[in-house]
A and B are shown apart, each in its own frame.
Chain A
Amino acid sequence: MAQGKIVKVAGPLIVAENMADSRMYDVVRVSDKRLVGEIIELRGDLASIQVYEETAGLKPGEPVESTGDQLSVELGPGLIESIFDGIQRPLTAIRDRVGDRIKRGVEVYALDRERKWIFEPVKSIGDKVDSGTIIGIVQETASVEHKIMVPHGISGIIKSIFASNATITETICEIEDEKGNIHPITMMQKWPVRRGRPYNEKISPNNPMVTGQRVIDTFFPVAMGGVAAVPGPFGSGKTVVQHQLAKWSDADIIVYVGCGERGNEMTDVLREFPRLHDPKTGESLMRRTVLIANTSDMPVAAREASIYTGITIAEYYRDMGYKVAIMADSTSRWAEALREMSGRLEEMPGEEGYPAYLSSRVAEFYERAGMVKCLGDDGRVGAITAIGAVSPPGGDISEPVSQATLRIVKVFWGLSAQLAYMRHFPAIDWLQSYSLYLDRLSDWYSNNVSPEFNDMRQKAMNILQKESELEEIVRLVGIDALSWKDRLTMEVARMIREDFLHQNAFDEIDTYTSLEKQAAMLRLILLYGEKGQQALDEGANLSTVVDVPVRERIGRSKYIKEEDLYKFDEIEAELLSQVTAIDEQGGL
């Protein structure tokens, strides 16, 4: 292929001439330092290239060489437990080779070529296979069984397949297609990141992704295969929410993309995840996690790619029939990378300088989530749930990235600076947030949690809404202006806020709450409200109802261990007996 020549360098953007042979999105190697770049614009024989590495010291005249490949990721055993940069370079391997800071032009394979994996075939010679058919399995980690699939575009009859202890580049199977060509199959395949992996059929999700976070599971659930956004000003806990979801959601695989955020946030993940255990498998959480780190000090162009790298890896595991959750923290930094590149390309800026195609790019990312029937012969179903953090400057969600995101996502967890200031975490604002999956998931909740769960949620939400109305009155004329019933409503709302919605991510027990426990907690609080109102009707004093001793136990019920759920019945019995006592003493 012809060699190009740099004519212009502008930060991460390079313009090269004599590039007429190359195609859009081809990967190129720039200068004799062999920096990785990608063609993002072609005009005549001029190509604009975004370079994924630092471009200091480059000058016009240096060579540019197209590789003819698109920016692709390597998919195969070894992905899990790895930490990659935005263009899937393994950071651990790079550190072993060049030390703590990535040097330029480092070429390391994404997946370890030396390591051997035990491949067990599930198909045999003579079987007819299609793209996506599972031909064998590899135990990738203790929690994840990696399924080796026939790569896209290959189908035919298996000529040979053998159980082996092989590296990812050794042939483990041979497939003969209709024309008699033999295709050797390895455990690794490549896929261009900007193209969604194919599937049979998209299906509409009807069960939630259980996260163990009360405000999310009870009030604003996200469907398995759904899309959610967490916008919030800084300091409001976006990252903690993302971490909590990565830790506790009931997905099989977690892909965590740290995109343009602080390095210490990735460090937290690296430190904490190996220590924590998946409640389902009992294995370390790291055993189901793929990390992609492009922290704020890493080259900006690679940040643009990191989101696509992440979602492509997620799609690969989805195709095996797994439920994958991908967290992107934060999509605003990614949009800023788009803006920077767009500015350097001298494109006409849209709102706030973001490129005019911002919303289509955001949509492209979120649209790759969903629940699908995978390719292959067994009708397996996989899902990707995408959760993107958005960091609107000043917390004002009328800015373009938040708006573009909100147009696409169905769940909105709006974090509020005020709640964070009041030390209410997770600071998800219950009046502002919404989940459009509630209707679709209501059957699942009544069948799997409790038949009354949807009613309880509605009641609790009504109480919270009533509270905000009452608060307005209190602000104007003082608490004295409220009737006792309203004051009790405010008390119950406070219980919902403090005893239910508030959840301590750093408490061993409180950090995860099963749906069963969530239902029990909510039931107790609502029961208290109901019985309290009755007692007031019977003539009891407000103070006796408010000061009933069982309230303390209700407040502490979040610290009841998952295996001690019978204690909720005890508290309920205590509540009923204490309220009856009030009735007898106060009622007439």
Chain B
Amino acid sequence: MLNNTKMGAVGERSAVLAFKALGMQVIPTSTEEETTNALFKLKKQGIGIIFITENEAKQAEEALMRYRNDFELTIIPIPGSNGSTGYAMEIIKKNVEKALGANILFEN
């Protein structure tokens, strides 16, 4: 089942709409509630990878936490229309720090 996992995109309308062209399920959202509900809906449909714009991801941090340990669903933050805010990198850094006990991804 994991081999033909479907993909989806959630977040800022202008950033995620393009994914529709690739045949993904796209739900544009702007509030925390909308994002939470969108994630829940996609998860229910059995979608395995969801791209989410950084701003919305940050807003709906709690909802992201919910799926953090879900091995059937990966949520990948992507930059919004205004470019990256560094949020995604922050999450990676945190995870690396947790795994290794030290930060090895220095800024420079």
- Residue ranges of A at the interface with B (Cβ–Cβ < 8 Å): 478, 480-484, 539, 541-543, 585-586, 588
Contacts of B33 in A (CB 8 A): 585-586
Contact string, B43-87, partner A, CB cutoff 8 A, digits 1/0? 010000000000000000011011011000000000000000000
- Other than the given A483-B69, A588-B40, A588-B44, 11 more pairs (CB < 8 A) read A480-B65, A483-B66, A484-B66, A539-B40, A541-B36, A541-B63, A542-B62, A542-B65, A586-B36, A586-B37, A588-B37
* Contact of B41 with A by CB under 8 A: yes
Bound state CA distance, A72 and B33, in angstroms? 79
Q: Which residue of B lies closest to A539 (CB)?
A: B40
**Contact (Cβ within 8 A) B37 A539:** yes
Bound state CA distance, A335 and B18, in angstroms? 82
Q: Whole-angstrom distance from the CB of B35 to the nearest CB of chain A?
A: 11
**Contact (Cβ within 8 A) B36 A539:** yes
**Contact (Cβ within 8 A) A541 B62:** yes
**Contact (Cβ within 8 A) A481 B69:** yes
Binding site of B, secondary structure by majority: helix, strand, loop or mixed? helix
Contacts of A478 in B (CB 8 A): 98
Bound state CA distance, A542 and B40, in angstroms? 13
Contacts of A480 in B (CB 8 A): 65, 68
Q: Whole-angstrom distance from the CB of B41 to the nearest CB of chain A?
A: 6
Bound state CA distance, A585 and B68, in angstroms? 23
Q: Which residue of B lies closest to A543 (CB)?
A: B62
Contacts of B63 in A (CB 8 A): 541
Q: Which residue of A lies closest to B70 (CB)?
A: A483
Bound state CA distance, A481 and B95, in angstroms? 12
Number of B interface residues in the complex (CB < 8 A): 13
Q: Whole-angstrom distance from the CB of A587 to the nearest CB of chain B?
A: 9
Bound state CA distance, A480 and B33, in angstroms? 21
Bound state CA distance, A585 and B37, in angstroms? 10
Contacts of A543 in B (CB 8 A): 62
Bound state CA distance, A542 and B60, in angstroms? 12
Q: Whole-angstrom distance from the CB of B27 to the nearest CB of chain A?
A: 11
**Contact (Cβ within 8 A) A542 B66:** yes
Q: Whole-angstrom distance from the CB of A220 to the nearest CB of chain B?
A: 36
Bound state CA distance, A588 and B37, in angstroms? 7
Bound state CA distance, A269 and B51, in angstroms? 69
Contacts of A542 in B (CB 8 A): 62, 65-66
Q: Whole-angstrom distance from the CB of B46 to the nearest CB of chain A?
A: 15
Bound state CA distance, A478 and B98, in angstroms? 10
Q: Which 9 A-B pairs have the closest CB atoms?
A: A539-B40, A484-B66, A541-B62, A588-B41, A543-B62, A541-B36, A588-B37, A483-B69, A588-B40
Q: Which residue of A lies closest to B38 (CB)?
A: A588
Q: Whole-angstrom distance from the CB of B94 to the nearest CB of chain A?
A: 10
Contacts of A483 in B (CB 8 A): 66, 69
Q: Whole-angstrom distance from the CB of B56 to the nearest CB of chain A?
A: 15
Q: Which residue of B lies closest to A483 (CB)?
A: B69
Q: Which residue of A lies closest to B36 (CB)?
A: A541
Contacts of B40 in A (CB 8 A): 539, 586, 588
Contacts of B65 in A (CB 8 A): 480, 542
Contacts of B41 in A (CB 8 A): 539, 588
Bound state CA distance, A481 and B69, in angstroms? 7
Contacts of B37 in A (CB 8 A): 539, 586, 588
Bound state CA distance, A585 and B31, in angstroms? 14
Contacts of A586 in B (CB 8 A): 33, 36-37, 40
Bound state CA distance, A248 and B33, in angstroms? 51
Bound state CA distance, A586 and B98, in angstroms? 32
Q: Whole-angstrom distance from the CB of B39 to the nearest CB of chain A?
A: 9
Contacts of B62 in A (CB 8 A): 541-543
Q: Whole-angstrom distance from the CB of A107 to the nearest CB of chain B?
A: 77
Q: Whole-angstrom distance from the CB of B38 to the nearest CB of chain A?
A: 9
Q: Whole-angstrom distance from the CB of B92 to the nearest CB of chain A?
A: 15
Bound state CA distance, A478 and B97, in angstroms? 14
Q: Whole-angstrom distance from the CB of A430 to the nearest CB of chain B?
A: 28
Bound state CA distance, A482 and B33, in angstroms? 22
Contact string, B1-39, partner A, CB cutoff 8 A, digits 1/0? 000000000000000000000000000000001001100
Contacts of B66 in A (CB 8 A): 483-484, 541-542
Q: Whole-angstrom distance from the CB of A459 to the nearest CB of chain B?
A: 25
Bound state CA distance, A586 and B33, in angstroms? 8
Bound state CA distance, A481 and B71, in angstroms? 12
Bound state CA distance, A9 and B69, in angstroms? 75
| 15 intermolecular pairs with C-beta atoms under 8 Å apart | A480-B68, A481-B69, A483-B66, A484-B66, A539-B36, A539-B40, A539-B41, A541-B62, A541-B66, A542-B62, A585-B33, A586-B33, A586-B36, A588-B41, A588-B44
Q: Whole-angstrom distance from the CB of B26 to the nearest CB of chain A?
A: 17
Bound state CA distance, A86 and B73, in angstroms? 72
Bound state CA distance, A213 and B35, in angstroms? 47
Contacts of A482 in B (CB 8 A): 69
Q: Whole-angstrom distance from the CB of A483 to the nearest CB of chain B?
A: 6
Bound state CA distance, A481 and B62, in angstroms? 13
Bound state CA distance, A541 and B64, in angstroms? 10
Contacts of A588 in B (CB 8 A): 37, 40-41, 44
Contacts of A484 in B (CB 8 A): 66
Bound state CA distance, A588 and B98, in angstroms? 35
Q: Which residue of B lies closest to A478 (CB)?
A: B98
Q: Whole-angstrom distance from the CB of B23 to the nearest CB of chain A?
A: 23
Q: Which residue of A lies closest to B41 (CB)?
A: A588
Bound state CA distance, A478 and B65, in angstroms? 13
Q: Whole-angstrom distance from the CB of A402 to the nearest CB of chain B?
A: 42
Tell which of A480, A541, A543, A588 has the most Cβ of chain B within 10 Å.
A541
Q: Which residue of B lies closest to A481 (CB)?
A: B69
Contacts of A539 in B (CB 8 A): 36-37, 40-41
Q: Whole-angstrom distance from the CB of B61 to the nearest CB of chain A?
A: 10
Bound state CA distance, A543 and B41, in angstroms? 19
Q: Which residue of A lies closest to B39 (CB)?
A: A539
Q: Whole-angstrom distance from the CB of B90 to the nearest CB of chain A?
A: 15
Contacts of B68 in A (CB 8 A): 480
Q: Which residue of A lies closest to B68 (CB)?
A: A480
Bound state CA distance, A586 and B62, in angstroms? 13
